[in-house]
Amino acid sequence: MSGTETLAGRVAPLREHPRLALVAGVVGIDVGLKLAGVWSPLPGGPLGVERLVTLLWNGLVIGLGVGLAGIGLSMTYSILRFANFAHGDYVTTGAFAGWACAWVVAAAGSGQLAGNVGGSLALGRAPDAPSAADLSVSVFGSPLAVVVGLVVAAVGTVVLTLAVDRTVFKPMRDAGGIPLLIASIGVALVIRYLIVFVYGGSSRGLTAEQTRLIVGGVDGRIALVTSRRTLREAQDGAVPVDAFYVELPVVDLGSYSAEVVAVSSAEFGLVVLALGLMYALHVTLQRTKLGTAMRATADNKDLARVTGIPTERVVRATWVIGGGLAGASGYLIALERGTLGFQLGWLLLLLIFAAVILGGIGSIYGAMVGGVLIGFTQSLAVVWIPSSFATAAAFAAMILVLVFRPEGIYGGVSTA
């Protein structure tokens, strides 16, 4: 976590490996050929602009969720030098804690809290508990509940990570990375099945129907609407008075009329909040004393201790920041998916590890970039292969990058 990295330094790993650039160039050319509707050497048929935009947006949503979750894992490795397999279950814990609180707040706001506190905390598991539709749980339907849930998700996960560190990891801190890794697997199993004991093993719906913002073309002008019906009526020249319809002042595209991409309020919320949290972490690392201490400890813990840096406080700060971001990411991913199960974090853990390794394990910026690249790869892979193989394609891309650059994209670069 050295603070000497510049923007040019962050771009350098990509510029210094022409073979990676060649692979990216071939993929880019093939996408261009498919967009043009001409023959291309790689498998897959013609590709429409609308589908490409949708795939890119979906990849960004997936990538930011995975990247946000990967930050804490990368920080733990950078400062404590072990791979924390309990990190995925920290993600799950944040999702359950945050959504239990969000349901209680939504129930209070809709007047359905009386007699249903337990059912709301159990996310509708009780027979007489209100459902997500009853509570109108969504970004626009109950924004206060969603925001409060996000805060509780982060805080609740921080409390858990500090408790686990105090009782399990701190006594073993000098034992080395392998014993800590094995202990983290045990912690993961304990957390996972405690969640099953409280919430059960079945998945449940979290949110009511999501509002969608549709970007489309109407007679050559880009327009924003909230329903496909409104878009069709606008294309026919009859926009309802009470419909949301905004035409953007852009260059005339001729007679182009079609839907380009539909963005749900949950997806928009995930992207905005994830970018905001990542930027806040960047400011913390680069412009505060805590960030300086964390970067020094990551570079050389013994030297940091000798120079007077309170390394134990830095370790606690690492758990606080990493745990908070893990809980927030689990909450936001569940918001975007609209469902939640006890294996949420466990199923995401391999993608999180892939993002961290791809970006360069120990690099926070690498985790962010690696997550976005994993998301784009998983989403865009369906252009060439069946969707059932999309996740495998993401891991194949990770392996391909590591063949050319074994340390990862930002590994070996002075980075936070």
Residue-range domain boundaries for the chain: 83-209+265-349, 212-264
Give the pTM.
Answer: 0.86
Q: What is the pLDDT of residue 7?
A: 44
Supply angle C-alpha 350, 351, 355, rounded to 5.
120
Backbone angles phi, psi at 409, to 5 degrees: -60, -45
Count the Cβ atoms, other than its own, within 10 Å of residue 413: 20
Q: What is the pLDDT of residue 353?
A: 92
Whole-Å CA distances, 107 to 116, 132, 178: 8, 10, 46
Whole-Å CA distances, 97 to 72, 102, 147, 152, 316: 18, 9, 13, 7, 21
Q: What is the pLDDT of residue 122?
A: 63
What pairs with residue 214 in β-bridges? 225, 262
Q: What is the pLDDT of residue 121?
A: 63
Q: What is the pLDDT of residue 249?
A: 72
Q: What is the pLDDT of residue 117?
A: 58
Q: What is the pLDDT of residue 414?
A: 46
**Positions in the chain whose pLDDT score sits under 70:** 1-20, 109-134, 240-242, 250-256, 411-416
Which tokens go with 142?
Answer: 């109950």
Q: What is the pLDDT of residue 113?
A: 59
Count the Cβ atoms, other than its own, within 10 Å of residue 378: 25
Q: What is the pLDDT of residue 323?
A: 94
Q: What is the pLDDT of residue 255?
A: 67
Let me know: does 185 contact 110? Beta carbons within 8 Å: no
Let me know: does 169 contact 239? Beta carbons within 8 Å: no
What is the rounded (10 degree) CA torsion for 175, 178, 181, 183? -50
